[in-house]
Chains A and B, each alone.
Chain A
Amino acid sequence: MSVRQTLTLTSKHQLWILSQFPRLASTNSWWSNVEMGPPDAILGVTEAFKRDTNPKKINLGVGAYRTDEGKPFVLESVKKAETLIANENLDKEYAPISGVLDFCQASAKLAFGDNSRVIKDQLYATVQGISGTGSLRIGATFLAKFFPGNKIIYLPNPSWGNHTPIMKHAGLDVKSYRYYDPKTCGFDFNGAKEDIEKIPENSIILFHACAHNPTGVDPRPEQWKELSAIVKKRKLFVFMDMAYQGFASGNIDEDAFAVRKFVEDKHNLILAQSYAKNMGLYGERVGAFTAVCEDKDEVERVMSQIKILIRPMYSNPPVHGARIAAKILNQADLRSIWLKEVKYMADRIITMRQQLVDNLKNNGSKKNWQHITDQIGMFCFTGLNQQQSERLIKDFSVYLTKDGRISMAGVTSKNNAYLANAMHEVTK
């Protein structure tokens, strides 16, 4: 068979043919049969965006905050903290497995509030985690090993794309409960309640504490209260994922409402926190995992076991980002600057949402776009279907994911009108 003919066959055939010719085949390699991993869907959006030469192109796939100029934002409180830390000549010795102690304590206080019984009675087992992902992973691994009930975790539908792989890989089964209502682009409260009522007792349920990813749809406070009661009645174990505290409404206490309400209602929940967005610390991987415990004895047992889980993962966590976060949380002047900055980021996004709705109206759109301002946080489920999303990409160089999700971080006062026009064109 000629070389040209071999090249037109499928790769499977090629491999077989090559294997018949030892001279050509890589017979000594262990890895000839290694499969190519699937490409990352979201990365694909960014790559297509980069290749596009349209000067008006907009990247709405980005999951990191951008300024109104479209630039990444390093917070002033972070820079100040970093300079102070650099001058303090702190050591580079291993942190404890559980991480920087100051950071862990401050993190628990931030989540639960200084006056919480959890803080006052020291009922939290908190460890530093590799941002939100790592903290979720610790929690999932801990549950897979020690949870005495059903090792099945119920996620809202839809949820962050990485939740399922993290949970499954840790050894939990994954199911879901209704959450997003595509008809209203809002919260399917009745659907959620119905589904949760049917979850078998002693199972695990995960909630996004605020700024649901990817929909931006959050329950209202009264709805959270009802959910807490139902979950209690069903004896479900609660896993809270809080990646946007402060970043959603601009107020850290308001955004922690659900977590604090559940704790008040005596759920001994577990919590994953991330500082990627609210402190802009993305690449420094700052997060925390907490288990709210019944008493100090349980705290001790749980801590001893979590450390054993962490050791074969990475031994102990990176300190740089945690030191920055701890300094900001614990030093009054830095904390004050940070609170203003996180409100500033949240406000910019809220403003962009409003402007987008106004611009859509100005374009003459007859559709109801209220969900854009009802939703909260970085992401917005526009309600555009797959074909409409594809048209946005193809015809207008507006890059988003096929589920109609846009990242508000990519919207600016300069591209807002163009975006509104494009959205109107594909939906009129």
Chain B
Amino acid sequence: MGLFSNIPTDPPIEVFHLTELFNQDANPLKVNLGIGVYQDENGRTLTLPVVRSVEQQMAQDLTLTKNYLKGTGLDAFCTACLKLVLGEQSPAIVENRACSIQSLSGTGAIRIGLDFLYRNGFRTAYVSSPTWGNHDSILQTVGFEVRKYRYWNKDKLTLDIDGLIADLEAAPKKSVILLHACAHNPTGCDPSREQWIRISDTCKSRELVPFFDMAYQGFSSGDLDQDAWAIRYFAHEAKHELFVAQSFAKNFSLYNERIGHLVGVFESRDIIPKFRTQMATIIRRNYSNPPAHGAYIVATILNNPTLYGEWKNNVRAMYERIHSMRQLFYNKLKQLGTPGTWEHIIQQTGMFAYTGLNPRQCQVLIQQHHIYIMSDGRINVCAITQRNADEVAQKFYEVITTISDDPKL
């Protein structure tokens, strides 16, 4: 008997398992509305042309070595990313009070940011209800007590702003508050600017630590600066000390190169060297230093005006496709006379729509209709295409009209 023969087989992680089931399904009409990966009109996740050309250049460049990056990452990458998040004219950057640390995409940034907070005495964290599945897992692994703040009102299909504020008002001082900067995952529902200001005021008066998760800069409105509005308001106008975990998986279509960064904004520039050395220690005992490939690609693009322009256009194009698919899906549902209100589909932003389907309905969608959807009713709007929109809407209509033990109507 091996030492580990009796350890439990844990259930697989839902979103990856869904993709596995999808891949195994032989039905030609199958659609995968699960994982948050951008797909084009032909259902393909293409690499951005600007990324391809940079990669090919890199492969020919004989001056590039494979030397280790610093633990905190490639400087050219970090400097450019800081500007992307905070804006070129950010007072925090000008005053040297902000710092970017390269990370293993968004997950890695959240992880090292929370490791830093934990080792400096922070113990309680709040996540939105609902939130990205891995937030809870990361927080628990690091050792935080995880609490929720109300977010999605499933009866009204909007943001429960009063519930949110009430929960933050009741939060203990020094609680870390995980906020989605834009294109909330899974609901796609973001606070308005007035609502962000209220959230900021509450964080200030309750002495809470804002920790932004920005995985979709550019996907919410199509405009990079607009999508960073909340972060910039908190940092510049409201003058919070805050953290931002940014992923370039989606907006650079660099999912598998694991490229992202963690931003820390502090009141004083004196904190920066302390923060950097602590981050270096945390990183050293986890993975020593980050992978170079994705960092060089992003740094090259962000630091070259022509490539940067090309990239912005690519992001805008992805945003527009998603936007039009939302409209298309909404139209189809309405045409079929699908019961319920569906405005939230076109009001929500980003890659995901929180449809409001219940777990039973989702199960039937998968098993009988080969439409792969997360059990909380979340769908990836990108996976809807001109070709499959009719079929997907039709199947939604069927499950909604035949199964209604927990109606969201």
Contacts and interface: CB of A to CB of B under 8 A. Distances in A.
Interface of A: 26, 28-32, 34-40, 64, 72, 74, 78-79, 82-83, 85-87, 89, 91-97, 130-131, 133-134, 137, 146-149, 162, 165-166, 169, 237, 268, 276, 280-285, 291, 293-295, 297-298, 300-302, 304-305, 307-308, 311-321
A92 B254 contact: yes
Given A134-B286, A293-B4, A320-B257, A91 B47 contact: yes
A314 B258 contact: yes
B2 A162 contact: no
A-B pairs with lowest CB-CB distance, top 10: A294-B2, A37-B277, A314-B104, A283-B292, A130-B287, A320-B293, A29-B267, A133-B288, A318-B291, A315-B107
16 contacts: A29-B268, A34-B271, A37-B278, A40-B280, A82-B59, A86-B55, A93-B255, A137-B287, A268-B3, A283-B65, A283-B67, A298-B5, A301-B9, A312-B141, A313-B104, A318-B256
B36 to A, nearest CB: 10
Interface residues of B, number: 76
B10 A308 contact: yes
B35 interface: yes
A86 B47 CA distance: 11
Contacts of B58: 86
Nearest to A300: B9
B387 interface: no
Interface of B: 1-5, 7-10, 12-13, 16, 35, 37, 45, 47, 51-52, 55-56, 58-60, 62, 64-69, 104-105, 107-108, 111, 120, 134, 137-138, 140-142, 174, 209, 241, 249, 253-259, 266-268, 270-271, 273-275, 277-278, 280-281, 284-294
Given A40-B284, A74-B66, A134-B286, 4 more contacts: A85-B59, A94-B249, A280-B66, A294-B1
A78 B277 contact: no
Given A26-B268, A320-B291, A312 B66 contact: no
B32 to A, nearest CB: 12
B260 to A, nearest CB: 9
Contacts of B120: 31, 34
A291 to B, nearest CB: 7
Contact of A301 (B4, B134, B275): B4
Contacts of B45: 91-93
Contacts, number: 228
Given A31-B275, A293-B4, A318 B13 contact: no
A137 B285 CA distance: 8
A316 B256 contact: yes
A272 B249 CA distance: 27
A290 to B, nearest CB: 13
A307 B138 CA distance: 13
A134 B37 CA distance: 26
Contact of A319 (B35, B257, B278, B289): B257
A162 B288 contact: yes
Contacts of A148: 3-4
A236 B287 CA distance: 26
Contacts of A293: 2, 4
B37 to A, nearest CB: 6
A93 B289 contact: no
